[in-house]
Amino acid sequence: MSDRNIYLDHSATTPVRPEVIEAMMPYFNQRYGNPSSIYSIGRDSKKAIEEARQTVAGAIGAQPREIFFTGSGTEADNWALKGAALANQQKGKHIITTSIEHHAVLHTCQYLERNGFEVTYLPVDIDGLITPEQVKAAIRPDTILISIMFANNEIGTIQPIAEIGKIAKEKGIIFHTDAVQAMGNVSIDVEGMNIDMLSMSAHKFYGPKGIGVLYVKKGVKQSYFIHGGAQERGRRAGTENVPAIVGMAKALEIAIANMDNYNQKLTALRDRTIREIEEKIPFVKLNGHRKDRLPGNVNFSFDFIEGESLLLLLDMKGIAASSGSACTSGSLDPSHVLLAIGLPHETAHGSLRISFGEENTDADVDYLMEVLPGIVQRLREMSPLYEAHCKQQETQVTV
């Protein structure tokens, strides 16, 4: 085991900022009133929630009344899809999405298919991109919803969201985007981009876990999601998670204020890592678009090895990274995203995702590049496929 501790998995989750913890603390045991209560300690909580709502709205160019707090990004995605499907089914039962969405969207689509809806899963190109023309061509008279992720959590590819939004608007179809990976990394303006619904999650931008937001543009037909009290205007009932809501707003405020610096730093770490892996390790392939990708995302396939073994050996050297997404690892199926960009099963199995964040430095990349080539070589030497490949090369040379 190593005494190093280098976290390179910020797409899975991020540490909570000290300023965020500090902002949250009073709401656990000092300002603990129920926001629905009318006495002053309750009104304090209510006020904190409404201020947070204003901050979140401001970060994406929305109105506060269009912001609904949820229990996670997954919940926001579920609500966006199920809610819009249910409320608009008189108009039609067709939904358009992509084959590389997060499981929060894909599994919800499968659920809707089992309940009478029809879903078109647009294929992506080798870089993980879809084109606005593809979306346009898939639209039918009975299409009620388009759901396309802003940035992919595995390969980092960023979609042409504004152009897709324009098409959806022209055709009068509701447009949802899962912006969980994009928030804090990309400037988002829901008005300018014609986004009708947007999901985000605080723990991906240095806020607490278990709190998300669904933005729903005023006038969009959406059904109520959790029934009970009057919280979130009756649409998502249940006593609010006040500390988490306050923490989310604080984290977002800091993320937006520092976005340019943060992106510059992450892009430099990313591009250096991509360059050095391509220089120092043979038989590799960069997954995702080379330029239109999240600033901190690096995703490579290494021929002849298993991603899981690579992760274990990296972990022994004190490096935390991921193969595919956190939800996919743990199962032996290769990532649906890597298969969708056309990787064969064996190659998809040998993939590594590194996602940089605020605490990372060039020294972390130095260390990564000190250990990674050796680990890859070691694993390849144990691989029968690699041995076969080398034999074949030898015979090609000698004949």
Distance between alpha carbon 138 and the CA centroid of its chain, in Å? Answer: 24
CB of 269 to ligand PLP, least distance (A): 20
Contact positions vs ligand PLP (CB under 6 A) = 72-74, 77, 102, 104, 149, 153, 178, 180-181, 201, 204, 212
User: Does residue 327 have an active-site annotation?
Assistant: yes
CB of 128 to ligand PLP, least distance (A): 13
Are the C-beta atoms of 316 and 379 separated by less than 8 Å? no
Distance between alpha carbon 152 and the CA centroid of its chain, in Å? Answer: 6
Angle between helices 362-381 and 307-316 (to 10 degrees): 130
Q: How far apart are CA 95 and CA 105, in angstroms?
A: 11
At which residue do the structure tokens 């009133």 appear? 33
CB of 251 to ligand PLP, least distance (A): 13
Q: How far apart are CA 159 and CA 149, in angstroms?
A: 7
Q: How far apart are CA 337 and CA 372, in angstroms?
A: 24
At which residue do the structure tokens 């980092």 appear? 156
CB of 33 to ligand PLP, least distance (A): 26
The tokens describing 319, both together, are 């490096």
CB of 141 to ligand PLP, least distance (A): 30
Distances (CA, A) of 233 to 46, 48, 196, 200, 272: 13, 16, 18, 19, 48
Report the residue number whose CB is nearest to ligand PLP: 73
108 or 360, CB closer to ligand PLP?
108
Among the listed residues 327, 358, 369, 386, the single catalytic one is 327
Number of helical H runs and strand E runs in the chain = 14, 12
CB atoms within 10 A of CB 316: 12
181 or 231, CB closer to ligand PLP?
181
Are the C-beta atoms of 67 and 57 separated by less than 8 Å? yes
Are the C-beta atoms of 175 and 196 separated by less than 8 Å? yes
Q: Residue 98: helix, strand or coil by DSSP? A: strand
CB of 327 to ligand PLP, least distance (A): 8
301 or 325, CB closer to ligand PLP?
325
74 or 273, CB closer to ligand PLP?
74
At which residue do the structure tokens 């979306």 appear? 135
The tokens describing 174, both together, are 């509701």
Q: Which residues does the annotation mark as catalytic?
A: 327
